[in-house]
Amino acid sequence: MLGIVRQKILGQSLLKIRPAISVLRSYSSASKQMTVREALNSALDEEMSADSKVFLMGEEVGEYQGAYKISKGLLEKYGPERVLDTPITEAGFAGIGVGAAYYGLKPVVEFMTFNFSMQAIDHIINSAAKSNYMSAGQMSVPIVFRGPNGAAAGVGAQHSQCYASWFASCPGLKVLSPYSSEDARGLLKAAIRDPDPVVFLENELLYGESFPVSDEVLDSSFCLPIGKAKIERKGMDVTITAFSKMVGYALKAAEILEKEGIDAEVINLRSIRPLDRSTINASVRKTNRLITVEEGFPQHGVGAEICASVVEESFAYLDAPVERIAGADVPMPYAANLERMAVPQVEDIVRAAKRACYRAVPLAAAA
159 is catalytic: yes
Name the residue type at position 247. Answer: V
* H-run or E-run covering 58: strand 54-58
Q: Count other Cβ atoms within 10 Å, centred on residue 362.
A: 12
Q: Where are the alpha helices (DSSP H) in the chain?
A: 2-11, 36-50, 74-78, 90-103, 121-122, 131-134, 164-168, 181-193, 215-218, 245-259, 277-287, 302-314, 336-342, 346-356, 363-366
Longest Cα–Cα distance of the chain, Å, equals 70
110 is catalytic: no
Out of 38, 46, 90, 295, the active site residue is 90
DSSP characters over 253-276: HHHHHHHTT--EEEEE--EEETT-
Out of 81, 159, 209, 258, the active site residue is 159
Q: Could you check whether the bond before residue 274 is cis, i.e. omega within 30 degrees of 0?
A: yes
> In sequence order, what are the residues at sequence separation of 6 or more whose Cβ sits closer than 8 angstroms to the Cβ of residue 138?
none
> In sequence order, what are the residues at sequence separation of 6 or more whose Cβ sits closer than 8 angstroms to the Cβ of residue 122?
91
CA–CA distances in Å: residue 62 to residues 8, 67, 81, 97, 301: 21, 10, 10, 16, 35
Q: How far apart are the first and last CA of the chain?
A: 60
| Residues labelled as active-site residues | 90, 159
